[in-house]
Structure 1
Amino acid sequence: MNDHPQDKRPEGWLSRHHKHGVRPWRRTRLSFLRWRGTITANPHTARLYRMIVGGLGTLIVLIGLLLVPLPGPGWLIVIIGLFIISSEFRWAQRILHFVRVNVEKWTHWIMAQPLWVRWTVGAVTAAFVAVVVWAVFKIIGIPDWVPELEVLRYLDLQ
């Protein structure tokens, strides 16, 4: 056996943490887990905590669902709300698993399609977003800071 390996560690070297210190989030995570343990020790506070997490997650999911038809991260906000709810509720974990599996299936399916199908799906999605944006501006009006443009008169927005 080789007595002098090339990657021989210095004397007293234990791990990466020994050399570089504790990871920054580890202390925070351990503090949260200790705090969570004290919460679950009392059934009343555990129930209150579940209600708060459920209410906050539901609020975030509802905001995300309102933002889905608009351009932006609507579905991402819904999934973040589901992550929050799933930390306490098994049914939300099942929904999150269903979403994850189906998004993965959709991704694999769309990437297996010919280029013209992918471009068509992208164009239809862009057209849908454009119609939604037009409808929102038609309903609430164009903000005052937007300059007067000929295209906005053509789209009957000014």
Structure 2
Amino acid sequence: MATMRDAVLTRAAQLEHMHARWKTRKHGWLVRPATIALGALVVIIGIIAIPLPGQGWLITFAGISILALEVAWARRLLTWGLATFDRVSTWYRAQPRWLRWLIMTLFTLITIATLALVAWASWFYGGLDWLSPAFEFLGLERRR
């Protein structure tokens, strides 16, 4: 089974090659700010996707590897993050099934509670009008 490190470093090597080519072109001076903006956007999307089914961690690490093309702290964070992710994954796979289910259940409940809190706060301060019937049914009132 390929590790997260292998998947991310393969993509990072491809990005590094393209990045170096783009910097030598006519408008190469735009590559640094564009790379930083794109990396930040991909990291944000990845963080949002972590609790959702799919590849949230891979997206997050891909965003950090984009940032690592231009920023030294991102290179250090990428190295540390990949090692930590692989270490935790190895530990998690070695645990008994009941403990893995318990951990998944707890993280799912934490994710649902966080999303519910964000939705409530957004509604409470004037956004997400479509949630009004649900929160009013629960007896909650909006800030006036």
TM-score band by shorter chain is 0.5 to 0.7
What is the number of equivalent residue pairs in this alignment?
121
Alignment match of 1:133 (pick from 103, 106, 115):
115
Q: Distance in 1 between matches of 2:81 and 2:113?
A: 26
Q: TM-score, normalised by structure 1?
A: 0.54
Alignment correspondent of 2:24: 40
Q: In percent, how many aligned pairs have the same letter?
A: 24
Work out whether 1:98 is the aligned partner of 2:72. Answer: no
Alignment correspondent of 1:84: 66
Could you say if the C-alpha distance between residues 156 and 38 of structure 1 is closer, same or farther in structure 2, counting changes exceeding 3 Å? closer
Unmatched segments (≥5 aa) in structure 1:
1-28
Q: Which has the higher contact order (CA 8 A, sep 6+)?
A: 2
CA RMSD of aligned residues (A): 4.0
SS of match in other structure, 1:113: coil
Q: Which structure: greater helix fraction?
A: 2
Q: CA deviation at 1:157?
A: 8.9
Q: Distance in 1 between matches of 2:32 and 2:40?
A: 12
**Which of 1 and 2 has greater Rg?**
1
Q: Distance in 2 between matches of 1:36 and 1:103?
A: 28
Alignment correspondent of 2:137: 153
Unmatched segments (≥5 aa) in structure 2:
1-13
Alignment match of 1:115 (pick from 97, 108, 120):
97
Q: TM-score, normalised by structure 2?
A: 0.58
